[in-house]
Amino acid sequence: MRFYEPSEKQPCYYCKRITGTGEKGYPTREGTYTFETYVFRCAWHARFTCSICGEERHFSWFYWCPKSKQLICGNCNEPAMKPVAFWDRTYAYDFYCDDCGEHHYDLLYAEFQGKHPWQLGNRDIIFNVESERPWKPEWKPSEQREGKEIEITEALKLPNRLMQLRDELGPHRILKYGIPEDEIDLSDQGVAWSENSETWINAHGEDMSGDPNRKYIIDPALWNLLGDVDKLAVLDAGCGNGYLTRVLASKGAKAIGIDFSGPFIEYCKKIESEKKLGCKFLEGSLTEMSMFENQSFDVVVSNVVMVDVLDYKNAFKEIARVLKDDGRFIWSNVHPVFGRSCTAGDFKFPRDSRRNEERYIKLIDRYFETGGELTSWFGTPTWQFIRTLADYSKALKDAGLVISEIREPQPSIEDIQNHPDFLAFDADRWPHFIIFECLKRK
Ligand SMILES: C[S@@+](CC[C@H](N)C(=O)[O-])C[C@H]1O[C@@H](n2cnc3c(N)ncnc32)[C@H](O)[C@@H]1O
Ligand SMILES: [Zn+2]
Ligand SMILES: [Zn+2]
Ligand SMILES: [Zn+2]
C-alpha cells in the first residue's frame, strides 16, 4: 500500500484550498490519506485506479466517461490544457473521449462543475484505498458552472508561491518585479543610488571590508582574473565608493572610476585628496561615456554593477568602445540564476537560525521573468534588473565582446571556518555571484 495512516489527521489540503476561495457550503473533509509527509487528502482528492491501465494516480489526472462508466487516466488518453479560471486554478485537463466522442474534464474541474462521478450518483466507482464510503459528505455546486474563460498566457501566470514564501519568510521586501526595462526612468535609479550612497559607505567602510561577499567571495576571484595591473589604464565602471579604484591605483594602474551617483563621486574625490593615490573620478553614466576616447583602456572592470544598470546593452557597447583591441572587460554581477531576489530564495527553518544544518533549500522559479525589480534596499526603494544568462551573452556579443572565461566564485574553506556566521547566502552551496572575463574583438 502506497499510502500510510497518518498519526494525526488534518483537514484535506485540496478541500481547504477550495473552501479558501469562498466556495459556499463546501465541506472541508477530513484528510484521511497521506501519500507524502505534511499533505493530507480526503477520499475525493486522493488517488484513483485507472480502468484501462490499472495504475493508481492523482485524482486530477482522471476523467470519467458517463457512457462507458470508465475512469481513465491521462497516461491512457493524453489531455490538452483548457485555460479556465475556477476556484484557485487557471486551467483544467481537457480529454477527448473516443468512447462517446465528447470532451470530458479532470475530476477537480468536474467536481467544480457538478459532474464528478460521485456527484452524478455513481457510487460504485472503486476507490483505490480501503475507506469508509467516500462520497460523503455530499456537495453540489449551486448551478452548472463553466468557470471563466481565459487566455493560455494568463493560465500560465500561476500565482507565484515563491514570492509568497519570500514575503512571509524573506529578509527584505520586493515592492515590484518583472517591470519591462523601457518602462523605467533612469533618473529614478540615479536618485535611489544617491540616497543609498551614504548608508552604503557607512555600512561597508571605505575599503568595503564590511562586505563579506566582496572580501571573501568576489574580490579574490576578481583579482585572480585581473592579474598584474601595473601601468595598465583601467576603468572602474560603476565605482561606487571607489574602493576597487584605489586598490587598482595602489597596484600601479592608471585607474579611473566612473559612477552616476554624485555623492559617491564626491566621497571618492574627498578620499583621493587625502590619500593621493593618483585615482581619477568622474560622474557619468556607463551608457554614455563620451568623455573617453575610443580605445582608451587596457582593462575595464565593473564590480557588481550591471544588476543596477538600466540599459546594459548600451553600457556594454560603450565599454567595448573605450577598450583597446584585445582589451579585457572583467565584470562581476549578481548571478542571473542563483542570485536573484525575486525568483530565487534561500530558506532556513527556523528563519533566525544561521546554523548550517538548518539551511533548508534554495528555490528557483520563473527564470524567464526578467525586468526591473524594485526592492527596499537600506530602506530606499532601489531598482535592480533581472536578466537571463542568454540575455547577457547576446548583449556582449552584439557589443563585440567575447566571453573568454566565467567564474562562479566560492569562499575558501578557511574563510568559511573562520567566519561561520558571516558569509551571506550559503555561498559554499551555490554561487550568488558570477564573474565574466570578456575580450574586445579586433
Ligand atoms: C552595487 S554598487 C557597486 C559599486 C562598486 N563597484 C563596488 O563594488 O562597491 C553599483 C553602482 O553602480 C552605479 N550605477 C548604476 N547604474 C549606473 C550607470 N548607468 N552608470 C554609472 N554608474 C551606475 C551605482 O551608482 C552604484 O554605485
Ligand atoms: Zn478533499
Ligand atoms: Zn491509465
Ligand atoms: Zn466519454
What CATH number is given to the structural domain containing 389? 3.40.50.150
Ligand 1, atom 14, lies closest to the CA of 238
Ligand 4 midpoint to CA 52 (Å): 14
Give yes or no: residues 152 and 118 share one domain. yes
Structural domain of residue 55, as residue ranges? Answer: 10-158
Residues framing ligand 1 (Cβ under 6 A): 189, 193, 208, 238-240, 244, 259-261, 264, 285-287, 303-305, 308-309
- Mean pLDDT of the region 265-269: 96
Q: Are residues 293 and 423 in the same domain?
A: yes
- In angstroms, rounded to a whole number, what is the distance separating the alpha carbons of residues 357 and 47? 35
The answer to whether 98 and 63 have CB atoms below 8 angstroms apart is: no
Q: How far is the CA of 9 from the centre of ligand 3 (A)?
A: 30
What whole-number distance in Å separates Cα of residue 437 and Cα of residue 442?
Answer: 16
Ligand number nearest to the C-alpha of 52: 3
Instruction: Let me know whether 221 and 100 are in one domain.
Output: no
- Closest ligand to Cα 240: 1
Whether 289 maps to a domain, the answer reads yes
Residue ranges with strand state E in 194-343? 233-237, 254-259, 280-283, 297-303, 323-334
Residue 14: its pLDDT value, please? 97
Give nearest CA residue, ligand 1 atom 27: 240
Average pLDDT over every residue of 172-194: 75
**Boundary-marking domain end, from 95, 126, 158:** 158
**pLDDT band at 128; cut points 50, 70, 90:** low
Structural domain ending residue among the three candidates 126, 158, 190: 158
Residue 117 within a domain: yes
Query: Is 179 part of a structural domain of the chain?
Result: yes
- From 117, 139, 158, the end of a domain falls on 158
Ligand number, closest to the Cα atom of 40: 2
- At residue 144, the pLDDT reads 77
Q: In sequence order, which residues have a C-beta less than 8 Å from that of residue 116 and are 6 or more positions away? A: 44, 64, 107, 110
Render pLDDT for 353-400 as a digit per residue (tens, 0 to 9).
Answer: 777 777 778 889 889 999 998 887 667 778 899 999 999 999 999 999
Q: Are residues 306 and 406 in the same domain?
A: yes
> Does 200 share its domain with 332?
yes
Residues 117 and 179 in one domain: no
In this structure, is residue 1 part of a structural domain?
no
Ligand 1 atom with the smallest distance to the CA of 208 is 9
What is the 258 CA–ligand 1 centroid distance (Å)? 9
Which ligand approaches the C-alpha of residue 195 most closely? 1
Mark whether 246 and 123 lie in a shared domain.
no
Q: Whose CA is nearest to atom 18 of ligand 1?
A: 285
In a domain, 5, yes or no: no
Residues with CB under 5 Å of ion ligand 3 are 50, 52-53, 73, 75-76
Same domain? 149 vs 192: no
Q: Are residues 197 and 295 in the same domain?
A: yes
Same domain for 170 and 271, yes or no, is yes
Domain count, the chain: 2
Tell me whether residue 362 is in a domain. yes
Tell how far the Cα of 43 is from the centroid of ligand 2, in angstroms. Answer: 7
205 in the same domain as 109: no
CA of 70 to the centre of ligand 3 (A): 10
Q: How many CB atoms lie under 10 A from the CB of residue 199?
A: 13
Structure-model confidence comparison of residues 15 and 166, the more confident one: 15
Among 14-18, 177-181, 197-201, 291-295, the minimum mean pLDDT is found in: 197-201
Compute, in angstroms, the gap from residue 74 CA to the centroid of ligand 3.
6
* Domain identity same for 215 and 311: yes
Chain mean pLDDT for the chain: 89
Distance in Å, CA 15 to ligand 2 centroid: 4
**Which pTM does this prediction carry?**
0.85
Which pLDDT score, from 0 to 100, does residue 172 have? 64
Whether residue 335 is contained in a domain is answered as yes
